[in-house]
Amino acid sequence: MRQSLLALLAKEPAHGYELKQALEAIFGSAYPSPNIGQIYVTLGRLEKDGYVRSVGVEQSNRPNKKVYYITAAGREALLTWVEEPTEGPRVRDEFFMKLVLAPMTGLSDRMALINRQRRHYLGLIRDLDELAERTDPGNRVALLLIEGAMLHLQADLDWLERCQEELP
């Protein structure tokens, strides 16, 4: 969440609730709505780290609010995040560990594990399909996020087929 908040603040100063609304508007229901408490905790940490600064703004008929601004150090951290490649394939896959090790324990066999995982992935795909149907067709960001998740799940299903073929 740190980088998301820095990115929004690089565009323009904002207070916590505006940042929450911006994230919800950009990603829609495809991304879990951020908790406002977590946003303020994260802003506090960013301020402590010198990545943002805040200015108190008086309001006549509401409590005062803090408006956050990105600092030069925050811009540098954001640039580093943007330019750094995102983590690649997951070599330490928890399911694969179960698939290889659980049969050794006698607790489960590989086919039962594969079938259970396959049902889980198919359920997730159904949920994402329903989410896509409920998503505003104009929100291309949310639809691309959903599509990416579905493609990852399809790749996981294909991989399960390979595991079924290759493992005894």
- How confident is the model over 37-89, as pLDDT tens digits? 999 999 999 999 999 999 988 888 888 889 999 999 999 999 999 888 887 77
The answer on 72 and 45 residing in a single domain is yes
Answer yes or no: is 88 within a domain. Answer: no
User: For the chain, how many structural domains are there in total?
Assistant: 2
* 122 and 64 co-located in one domain: no
Residues 65 and 20 occupy one common structural domain: yes
Per-residue CA distances from 162 to 19, 35, 91, 107, 116 (Å): 43, 39, 16, 22, 15
Token pair 């006698």 in the structure block, residue: 106
Same domain, 140 and 116: yes
Alpha-carbon separation of residue 36 from 16, 21, 43, 44, 159 (angstroms): 7, 10, 11, 12, 38
Same domain, 107 and 59: no
Domain finish residue from 83, 106, 133: 83
At residue 101 the predicted structure's pLDDT band, cuts being 50, 70 and 90, is confident
Percent of the chain with pLDDT over 70: 100
pLDDT reported for residue 105: 82
Residues 74, 6 within the same domain: yes
The reply to whether 34 and 7 lie within a common domain is yes
Q: Is 56 among the domain residues?
A: yes
Whether residues 19 and 65 fall in one domain: yes
User: Looking at residue 35, which CATH number applies to its domain?
Assistant: 1.10.10.10
Using the 8-state DSSP alphabet, how is residue 62 labeled?
A: S
**Helices vs. strands in the chain: H and E counts, helices first:** 7, 2
Q: Look at residues 23, 53, 83 and tell me which one is the last residue of a structural domain.
A: 83
What predicted TM-score, i.e. pTM, was given to this entire model? Answer: 0.75
Give the range of the structural domain holding residue 126, as residue numbers without chain letter: 94-166
pLDDT in tens, 15-33: 999 999 999 888 888 888 8
Residue 14: DSSP 8-state: B
Amino acid 31: pLDDT = 81
Q: Residue 29: inside a domain, yes or no?
A: yes
Question: Does the structure show a pLDDT above 90 at 153?
Answer: yes
Please tell me whether residue 114 adopts helix, strand or coil conformation: helix
| In the chain, % of residues over pLDDT 90 | 67
Chain-wide mean pLDDT for the chain? 91
Quote helix, strand, coil % in the chain, to nearest 5: 70, 10, 25
Does some domain include residue 89? Answer: no
Per residue in 70-81, pLDDT (tens digit) is 999 999 999 999
